[in-house]
Amino acid sequence: MKDQINEELSGLKPTNRSDPARIHHKLDELVELLNDSNLSNETARQIQTKFERALKISNPDGTSSADQLLFIDNLDKNSQLKHSVIRAIGTILKFIISLLLILLGFGMIIMPAPPYFEMFTLFHINQKDGITIMDVISLLVVFIGIYLLITSMARIKR
């Protein structure tokens, strides 16, 4: 099986770099050949190494997105741990910020504000009280806090 794959790969003619259609066609042929074969882990690693080397040669000035996708499985444990810790810290901070926004919004509604801070009254409940623009802004802060809380909780569950 390995010899058959090597024969098929060696039979590939060099393609013109400016013709992506031919490259895609040959890649489709390779994918079909790999799907029809039962490769050992060592053979699969060799093929992956050849493919990675070919991608590096075709794009020597930087890493392509294909390179990044190929190396995702090859991350070491330290990088994976660092990434998960940073993500957990971000989620915890988002959770704390959402709670603070909710408390701030309710505090702005409950605590009396000076008259110059109470902008315009939108709806009058009686002569001296009503719903002001400041109350609407406070509710907006509360709803933003609730949205952040829900999204951080959803991320924690994932």
Per-residue tokens: 34:
């790999």
pLDDT at site 102: 96
| DSSP strands (E only) in 106-158 | 121-124, 130-132
Q: Give the C-alpha separation, 30 to 110, whole Å.
A: 68
pTM for the whole structure: 0.49
Residue % of the chain over a pLDDT of 70: 76
Q: Give the C-alpha separation, 10 to 4, whole Å.
A: 10
With a cut of 90, say whether residue 2 has pLDDT above it: no
What is the identity of the amino acid at 73? D
pLDDT in tens, 11-59: 665 545 557 778 778 878 888 888 888 878 888 888 888 887 877 777 6
Per-residue tokens: 68:
């990044």
The candidate with the shortest Cα–Cα distance to 105, out of 69, 67, 147, is: 147
pLDDT at site 101: 95
Q: Give the C-alpha separation, 135 to 132, whole Å.
A: 5
For residues 48 and 94, the model is more confident at 94
Residue % of the chain over a pLDDT of 90: 20
pLDDT at site 141: 95
The structure tokens 């799907």 sit at 35
pLDDT at site 131: 82
Per-residue tokens: 134:
């400041």
The whole-chain average pLDDT of the chain stands at 78
pLDDT band, very low/low/confident/very high, at 142 (cuts 50, 70, 90): very high
The candidate with the shortest Cα–Cα distance to 152, out of 103, 95, 87, 93, is: 95
